[in-house]
Chains A and B, each alone.
Chain A
Amino acid sequence: MQIDMRNIRKTFFGAPVLKGVDFCVHSGEIHALLGENGAGKSTLMNILYGLYKPDDGTITIDGEEVSIEDPRDALSQGIGMVHQHFQLVNTLTVSENITLGLRETGYPFSKRKLIDQRIKELSETFGLDVDPAKLIKGLSVGERQRIEIMKLLYRSAKIFILDEPTAVLSPPEVESFFNVLRELRNAGNGVVIITHKIGEVMQISDRVTVLRDGEGVLQSRLEDTNEHELSKAMIGRTLTQREHEIRSIDVTSPRLVLQDVTIHDGKLSLLQNLSISIAPGEIMGIAGVDGNGQQELAEAIIGIRKLSSGTITFNGNKVDGRSIIDRMNNGMGYIPADRHNDAILLPMNLNQNLLLKKHLDPNYLNHHFLKRKKAESTTKNLIKEFFIKTPSENTAIRYLSGGNQQKFVLARELDSDLQLLIAFQPTRGLDLGATDFIQSQLLDLANRGVSILLISTDLQEIISLSDRIAVLYKGENMGILENDDQLDIALVGAMMGGKRLENQ
């Protein structure tokens, strides 16, 4: 069986997501679909699975053009997909979940014994260890994933599409999961894994297609390519926009020191023995693919999240265990990635959003009563100073554009005696003008001696602003690089995919 997707185009709300992509997968291969977040990988596969309709382009199966209307249609053609978020009913058994929606022999009085028998057979053939009688509720993520795959096997799928299948697995689970994939391939099925991890591609796939910004930039057999070429193809962009200025920073007396910081959530470790330090006036860039511990790192430093172990020292004082307010009063500032949820009160106006930070500041209080006039004049000043476009300071912040909201959040943080700023995705989703403004503000700030922790998934931003770069992968620090003229971008890309810097 061979599936060919030709010149697939898709636009969401006027923004092109896929710009004429070709993709092909056939039986008996494991095909990796590689790309950064937002490159269009999932969209492409959702089209193949019938969840989206392409605006343009053709899909052929064994040379015959087909139109896939919905997932049911895709399944009847032998195409199955496992999404990142599993679709299982917690209160039903494994066997009931597998046959959910099928009209089994004897329906509606399904012959459970026969079904369980078939599940056991499949499970033995493919090394997929599942117990049909168990409830989903008590199962681990790895087991749930096996059930999702079993669902497709039971429906006689021939092509298995797996969206970021290893994101939720621990390393030993990944190993056994890969064995299942090999079994599937050896039995003559086609497997597509969507991933942004180059290491995995090298380990498991037979062929690879790289997507970047909605375009297919590389398609190759694995033997004919290498990690270096793949990471360059994946990240790709020529990083010239903002010239990086090499500054000499005295790192001998750091302001913020993280020592062996570890955060566990149940069995999963979100941050693992992370140690970094930032000097006054230094911009420390944290690179990494989204979801590799960035959120936890930022929240641990500002105090939103508790450490499982390790210490955080700020200006020589231990701060872990101290309150958020306490840390902020001592000169920490935080620009969260998710400003709508973590930073602002959308229905309230700019004055009130200023007061969200200032309402405990004695300068804005007169015996428990808020000094509204003072807040208003501060807001007015910030609007002027940071060129925030708003009808007035009494406008609800929800009516401002994302860029202006972000300028306001930055302005609010800067309006205090700042010593350390945690800037988490400070320019995500902003237009070029706002991005440039925020980036120059951050540089200004560093030149005035403020330490900045710049956490961003935009590698270009990291490289143009940072003095040093650390790479986070699965909550671990892959190594710290000096951002000088010898910086090897491909190496950073490889580290983002899990390669550890040797001499660390």
Chain B
Amino acid sequence: MKINRNIIHYIWPVASVLMTAILLLILIGVDLGSAFSGFFRGMFGNIYQISEVLVKTTPLLLAGLGCSIGFQCGFINLGAEGQLYMGALASSVVAIFLGHLPHLLLIPLMMVCGFLAGGLWALIPGVMKAKFGLSEVIMSLMFNYIAIQFIALAIRTWLKDPEYPFPMSQPFTESAQLPRLVPRTRLHIGFIIAIVLAALVYIFLWKTARGFQIRACGCNPRASFCVGVNVNLNIILSSLLSGGLAGFAGFVEVSGVQHKLMDGISSNYGYLAVMVSLLGSNHPLGVAIAALLLGALDIGGLSMQRSAGVPTSLTTVILGMIVIVFLLRHHFGKKEKEISHE
């Protein structure tokens, strides 16, 4: 009986997402077989497809980790997109103006600047929340627009490559580019760095006193304050780290994939990061799995479009469905747990 219920608990979310997908595919009027084979071959078909999934996973993982640190402290950071752009801008400025520096000096410098730019961008709503109690939700969200348009402005004016008519920066020099992991793919070393950072975030949040404090503040700020914790300091620190990781994702995108700054360097990674963090229950391991899932969905959807003519907006619908099902499952799971403990 109990096992049965557990199985149902895992089956119904998957089944309902799958049913929705099938229903939509039928409505679109494509051949189910070719759609699914296109979808899965897109993800795992060959080494290049797999590498593309991981290329997508990398910024999702980094920005998702950023969101999760904020969420763990009760700092609802919806501004990862803007922080990612600011990180990308700072890294690009370093890459373009100090492009002559040696690789081993330039890359770390770009990393630090990307991290700091994203962090400082998130710090503004963080300080506003801590000092004046303003809503970080609205503030961080609005800061996205400012950041995105600021970059748009930069690449049309002072950062514009005079050689080209398009709004983009000069291409980075060789020494400003992250090395490739696998030849003839776009998979770069940023993926490894992201995995390492996920492990570091785990150690920080779960093993250190400071990390514990951040989680305690997110869990019950009033109780934390009453035992003497400086809640505001933790909010500010978590906003800095949260934005920093999103900014790092921006660095990884320009240095690892694009090799220049331009419009749309992020395919909504900053917004998807909120979902990644949510699906991963704000835990680094969960975040990593969720980032991989979303990356795979994206690549699979593209391939399905190529092979079966299914519009990629289907993937967006599926993604929305996954989040809803996840929240429902979480809700019911909680209820059941409470009842069984009473």
Contacts and interface: CB of A to CB of B under 8 A. Distances in A.
Interface stretch (B86-94, B225-233, B252-260): B225-233
Interface string B207-241: 11110110010011011111110000000000000
B209 A346 contact: no
A328 B219 contact: no
A368 B227 contact: no
Given A346-B220, A348-B219, A359 B225 contact: no
- Size bin of chain B's contact surface: 10 to 19
A303 B229 CA distance: 12
Given A359-B209, A368-B210, A370-B209, A347 B228 contact: no
B223 A341 contact: yes
B209 A304 contact: no
Contacts of B225: 304, 324
Given A343-B226, A352-B212, A357-B227, A370 B207 contact: yes
B184 interface: no
A399 B340 CA distance: 10
A342 B208 contact: no
B208 A369 contact: yes
A341 B209 CA distance: 21
A370 B207 CA distance: 6
B341 interface: yes
A374 to B, nearest CB: 13
Interface in A352-381: 352, 355-357, 359-360, 365, 368-370
A76 to B, nearest CB: 41
Nearest to A302: B226
Contacts of B216: 345, 348, 352, 356, 359
Given A334-B226, A370-B207, A399-B341, A359 B220 contact: no
B208 A345 contact: no
Nearest to B222: A341
A357 B226 CA distance: 10
Contacts of A356: 216, 223-224, 227
- Size bin of chain A's contact surface: 20 to 34
Contact of A360 (B209, B219, B223): B209
Instruction: Pick the most buried of B213, B219, B223, B225: most chain A CB atoms within 10 A of its CB.
Output: B223
Contacts of A302: 226
Contact of A355 (B212, B222, B226, B228): B212
Given A344-B220, A345-B220, A336 B226 contact: yes
B212 A359 contact: yes
Contacts of A325: 228
A2 interface: no
A425 B208 CA distance: 34
Given A341-B222, A347-B219, A370 B227 contact: no
A195 B191 CA distance: 68
A369 B223 contact: no
A370 B212 contact: yes
Nearest to A324: B228
B80 to A, nearest CB: 25
Contacts of B227: 324, 328, 343, 356-357
B18 to A, nearest CB: 32
Given A324-B228, A368-B210, A370-B212, A343 B219 contact: no
Interface string B184-219: 000000000000000000000001111011001001
A323 interface: yes
Nearest to B221: A341
A342 B223 CA distance: 4
Given A344-B220, A344-B223, A328 B228 contact: yes
B120 to A, nearest CB: 24
Nearest to A327: B228
A304 B226 contact: yes
Contacts of B213: 359
Nearest to A328: B228
Contacts of B224: 356
A341 B220 contact: yes
A357 B212 CA distance: 11
Contacts of B208: 368-370
A123 B18 CA distance: 68
Contacts of A344: 220, 223
Nearest to B342: A399
A343 B227 CA distance: 7
Contacts of A324: 225-228
A369 B207 contact: yes
A342 B220 CA distance: 8
A241 B207 CA distance: 48
B213 to A, nearest CB: 6
Nearest to A299: B226
B223 A365 contact: no
Nearest to A360: B209
A154 to B, nearest CB: 38
Interface string A440-456: 00000000000000000
Nearest to A304: B226
A352 to B, nearest CB: 7
Given A352-B212, A359-B213, A369-B207, A323 B228 contact: yes
Contacts of B226: 302, 304, 324, 334, 336, 342-343
Contacts of A343: 223, 226-227
A299 B223 CA distance: 13
B56 to A, nearest CB: 33
B231 to A, nearest CB: 11
B162 to A, nearest CB: 50
Contacts of B210: 368
Interface in B301-333: none
B198 to A, nearest CB: 19
Nearest to B209: A359
Nearest to A355: B212
Interface in A314-335: 323-325, 328, 334
Contacts of A342: 222-223, 226
Contacts of A360: 209, 228
A303 B230 CA distance: 13
A425 to B, nearest CB: 15
A215 to B, nearest CB: 31
Contacts of A357: 227
Nearest to A341: B222
Nearest to B210: A368
Across the A-B interface, give the 9 residue pairs with the lowest CB-CB distance, nearest first: A325-B228, A324-B228, A345-B219, A342-B226, A399-B341, A359-B209, A368-B208, A345-B220, A359-B212
Given A341-B222, A356-B216, A370-B207, 12 more contacts: A304-B225, A334-B226, A341-B220, A341-B223, A342-B222, A343-B227, A345-B223, A346-B219, A356-B224, A357-B227, A368-B209, A370-B208
12 contacts: A324-B227, A324-B228, A341-B220, A341-B222, A343-B223, A343-B226, A346-B220, A368-B208, A368-B209, A369-B207, A369-B208, A370-B207
Interface of A: 302-304, 323-325, 328, 334, 336, 341-348, 352, 355-357, 359-360, 365, 368-370, 399
Interface of B: 207-210, 212-213, 216, 219-220, 222-228, 341
